[in-house]
Amino acid sequence: RTSPRIRTSNAATMARSNAETPVSAVWRAHYEALLNWSSRTVGSQHVNCPKDCVVGNLPIGTWLVDQRARMRGTDKSIATLDGERRALLQALVDDGKLWLQNPERRSWDEVFQAWTRWAHEKHGGNDYNVRHNETYEGIRLGTWVNLQRMRLRDKYPQENGKTPLTAQQKAALLELVAQGKFRIDAVDRFPIKFDLMMKWSEETVGGRHCNVPYDCVYEGERLGVWLNTQRQRLRGGTTKSKSELKAEQREMLEKLVQERKLWVSEPNMWDEKYNLLLQWSEDNNNGEHVNIPQAAPPYKGVQLGSWLATQRNRFRGKLGKMKPLTPEQELKLNELITQGKLKMNPLKQ
């Protein structure tokens, strides 16, 4: 049996051995490939290769990104570098050949100033609320602003190495909030989209119904997708948004259902688009044919060309993941073919 003293000695030897483990062959191969890239590409002036850089079969770009994060030690989810590996990279940093913080990255104050310029250019300095996909002066401003909202609400995961707002940064944001120029919580877009749906109804179908087609994009908004989500919420089904309809939102939608202007359970949309195709034919060629080009712009908010191309494939039996045509649908298409109004292999237009 091994005595406790020997076991303790062995454990200490093992710990010391692990601390002194030399650089692995894989790590060394990436490091040397990085130096070779530097020598061949930039005359050894620096080693800051692009993220997508690959030398041989070694992805040294992504490897270098990981090494920078380990050197900084800000991401608690990955181990920091120590020993020989840290010394080798630190020597490159000391020589000015390797940066750990991207020198092109804008500081918080620089982005805040750009945000202020955007607000004055767009809204005379009275509104600082940016759409999530807004880009300004090369800055993903919408993403940055949403991040500041999260940090203000203390919902940013600081345990992942993300620093909280400084007192000065928080004061600057809260001053905008106090002035009514910046909101912390996202705006309720339901009434905005609802009003847009009613406008679509008046302009497109004379107010007869509000059943916006799923693929309809109206005034830059994916109105059909939004309405589909509201139907799911009204039925109590699952959506990407876990929130339920508010009482007033449910009341607004149910009123339309009672007035027979909005369906909740899907009716036969095929017939609706088929009739729209016939209407397109009357409007564009006096009913001579229904061969709308696949790349044609939306007709009354519907991508009718894409829909017809899909029906041609279904008619020819090229289903993929699509359902086959019903006998009634097949009969309607066959009638158009017989009348010479529908070609199964239309010329590219």
Is the pLDDT at 175 greater than 70, yes or no?
A: yes
Q: What is the pLDDT of residues 99-125, one digit of tens each?
A: 887 776 788 999 999 999 999 999 999
With a cut of 50, say whether residue 14 has pLDDT above it. Answer: no
The CA-CA-CA angle for residues 8, 11, 15, to 5°, reads 140
Please give the average per-residue pLDDT across 213-239, as a whole number: 84
Q: Mean pLDDT over all residues of the chain?
A: 83
* Per-residue confidence (pLDDT) for residue 40, from 0 to 100: 92
Residue 16 pLDDT: 38
Cα 227 from chain centroid (whole Å):
20
**Residue 333 confidence (pLDDT):** 92
User: What's the mean pLDDT in 338-342?
Assistant: 92
At residue 281, the pLDDT reads 93
Q: Residues 303, 250: contact at Cβ < 8 Å?
A: no
- The confidence band for 139, taking pLDDT boundaries of 50, 70 and 90, is confident
CA–CA dist 349, 265 (Å, integer): 37
Compute the distance between CA of residue 326 and CA of residue 333 in angstroms, rounded to an integer: 11
Per-residue confidence (pLDDT) for residue 115, from 0 to 100: 95
The helix/strand/coil state of 236 is coil
pLDDT surpassing 50 at residue 210: yes
Its pTM surpasses 0.85: no
Percent of the chain with pLDDT over 90: 44
pLDDT band at 267 (very low <50, low <70, confident <90, very high): low
pLDDT at site 153: 79
Answer yes or no: are the C-beta atoms of 280 and 290 closer than 8 Å: yes
> Does pLDDT of 327 surpass 50?
yes
| pLDDT, greater one: 342 or 79 | 342
151: closest CA among 168, 133, 169, 127?
A: 169
Residue 324 — pLDDT band, cuts 50, 70, 90? confident
Q: pLDDT of 272-297, one tens digit each?
A: 889 999 999 999 999 999 999 988 88
- Contact present, 166 and 82 (Cβ < 8 Å): no
The answer to whether residue 75 scores a pLDDT higher than 70 is no
The three-state secondary structure class of 45 is coil
pLDDT of residue 186: 64
One-character DSSP codes across 176-232: HHHTTS--SSPP--HHHHHHHHHHHHHHHHTTS-----TT--BTTB-HHHHHHHHHH
Give the per-residue pLDDT at 242: 52
pLDDT value at residue 102:
74
